Amino acid sequence: MLVIKRKVSESILIGDDIEIIISEISQDKVKVAINAPKEVKVIRKELKETFEFNKTASEKIDKNSLKYLKSQLKSANKK
């Protein structure tokens, strides 16, 4: 892992196409701006982890439970 100190308005280059700019520093947060080509996917790590967790959880759903929920929804809609 590379650790670099930067001040506001200083930047870091990743390859030739990606620039990370420090736009604001407060007591416990750093705001960064990212210049990257549109084809480069940029996403917050916690969102990716949540997506992966939800995908894994959805794959473990019991088919009988789904059938039961489906029947409950159908009967609730008929009322």
Percent of the chain with pLDDT over 90: 61
> What does 38-78 look like in DSSP terms, one character per residue?
TTS----HHHHHHHHHHHHHHHT--HHHHHHHHHHHHHHHH
Tell me which residue range forms the domain holding 28: 1-38
* Residues 19, 47 share a domain: no
* Residues 30, 56 share a domain: no
Q: In this structure, what DSSP letter does residue 51 have? A: H
* Residues 18, 3 share a domain: yes
- Considering its fold, how many domains does the chain have in total? 2
Q: pLDDT tens across 8-65, in order?
A: 999 999 999 999 999 999 999 999 999 999 999 999 999 999 988 888 777 777 778 7
* Residues 65, 48 share a domain: yes
